[in-house]
């Protein structure tokens, strides 16, 4: 690991990885052993490894799986999650998007947004809602350094300053939002994959069929090419953003959100985008003022 100036054997790597996760949790004051942690699991290497490490470190961490209705891919990933929860002896909450709405493939056809954009919105909405309904104090996701740095690069290229004020390893709870944290944000994708493999975690290797279109893959490749030539750039790019740029653009949601009139979740308008989507496909009727 040239960016850490470390070369470790299997056993040392596993314990280094776990200690480093604990250090990141403490560095950003993400949560404590008193918190009830909900791990958003997809069946992939990052989220399952995160769930494993948190429980190994003694955190009270349960899983949440959102079934996206993406054919065989969703079925297989759900099976992996259920099997993994059993092996951990941990609780997993499973919610099927089709019970309230329809799956991602159908949604992609009725909206002008890409599958990933609708999917991202529904994931954020459900992670927050389910966590509150079940009394969890923090939602954690398995985003790694490659995810964070590539999305940062894509947003810098477009000078999306709104993004620059929102992305941080921990986002405090405020106005209807539970706290969110990313304890793997300082690990590269290679490191999380290696940890999952060495621990024998049975994760879903196939990618979501929509991920081929994802712009993030393109930006990840660019960053990997820079990293090859200048080791450590990826980490520096992300950490210096956290230190120097985020504080300048940081924005609070105060006054910018209100409870949605239909579901009560925090929303930028009277009715949240998810309820609007539901109405569009005939799921719920939106009650307007005085109606």
Residues that bind Zn ion (CB under 5 A): 260, 262-263, 272, 275
Structure tokens at 87: 């092996």
Complex with Zn ion: residue 70 or 271, whichever CB lies closer: 271
Q: Which does 116 bind (CB under 5 to 8 A by kind): Zn ion, ligand SF4, none?
A: ligand SF4
Phi, psi (rounded to 5 degrees) for 255: 75, -10
- Closest distance to Zn ion from the beta carbon of 261 (Å): 7
- Closest distance to ligand SF4 from the beta carbon of 208 (Å): 3
Q: Which does 210 bind (CB under 5 to 8 A by kind): ligand SF4, Zn ion, none?
A: ligand SF4
Q: Which does 117 bind (CB under 5 to 8 A by kind): Zn ion, ligand SF4, none?
A: none
- Closest distance to ligand SF4 from the beta carbon of 70 (Å): 6
Residue ranges in contact with ligand SF4 by CB under 6 A: 104, 115-116, 119-120, 208, 210-211, 214
Comparing CA positions, the residue from 181, 172, 183 lying closest to residue 145 is 183
Q: Which does 156 bind (CB under 5 to 8 A by kind): Zn ion, ligand SF4, none?
A: none
What gap in Å lies between CA 208 and CA 119, rounded to an integer?
12
Complex with ligand SF4: residue 30 or 204, whichever CB lies closer: 204
Strands 258-259 and 266-267: antiparallel
What gap in Å lies between CA 46 and CA 203, rounded to an integer?
9
- In terms of DSSP H, where are the helices of the chain? 10-27, 45-56, 71-88, 97-100, 104-110, 115-133, 145-157, 161-164, 189-198, 215-229, 233-240, 246-249, 273-280
Complex with ligand SF4: residue 69 or 183, whichever CB lies closer: 69
Complex with Zn ion: residue 6 or 269, whichever CB lies closer: 269
């Amino acid at each position: 690991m040239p960016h850490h100036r470390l070369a470790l054997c299997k056993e040392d790597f596993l314990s280094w990885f776990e200690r480093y996760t604990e250090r990141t949790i403490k560095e950003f004051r993400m949560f404590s052993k008193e918190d009830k942690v909900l791990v958003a699991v997809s069946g992939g290497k990052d989220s399952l490894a995160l769930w494993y490490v948190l429980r190994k470190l003694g955190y009270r961490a349960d899983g949440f799986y959102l079934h996206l209705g993406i054919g065989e891919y969703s079925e297989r990933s759900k099976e992996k999650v259920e099997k993994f929860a059993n092996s951990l002896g941990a609780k997993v909450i499973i919610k099927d998007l089709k019970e309230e709405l329809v799956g991602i493939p159908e949604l992609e056809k009725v909206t002008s947004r890409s599958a990933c954009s609708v999917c991202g919105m529904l994931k954020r909405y459900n992670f927050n809602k389910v966590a509150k309904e079940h009394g969890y104090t923090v939602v954690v996701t398995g985003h790694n350094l490659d995810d964070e740095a590539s999305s940062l690069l894509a947003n810098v290229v477009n000078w999306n300053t709104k993004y620059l004020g929102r992305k941080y390893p921990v986002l405090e709870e405020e106005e209807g939002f539970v706290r969110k944290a990313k304890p793997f944000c300082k690990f590269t994708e290679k490191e999380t994959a290696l940890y999952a493999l060495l621990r024998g975690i049975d994760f879903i290797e196939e990618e979501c069929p929509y991920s081929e279109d994802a712009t993030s893959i393109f930006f990840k490749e660019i960053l990997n090419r820079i990293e090859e030539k200048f080791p450590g750039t990826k980490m520096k790019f992300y950490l210096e953003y956290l230190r120097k740029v985020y504080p300048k653009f940081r924005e609070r949601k105060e006054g910018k959100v209100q409870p949605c009139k239909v579901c009560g979740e925090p929303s930028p308008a009277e009715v949240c985008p998810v309820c609007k989507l539901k109405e569009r496909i005939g799921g719920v009727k939106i009650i307007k003022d005085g109606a």
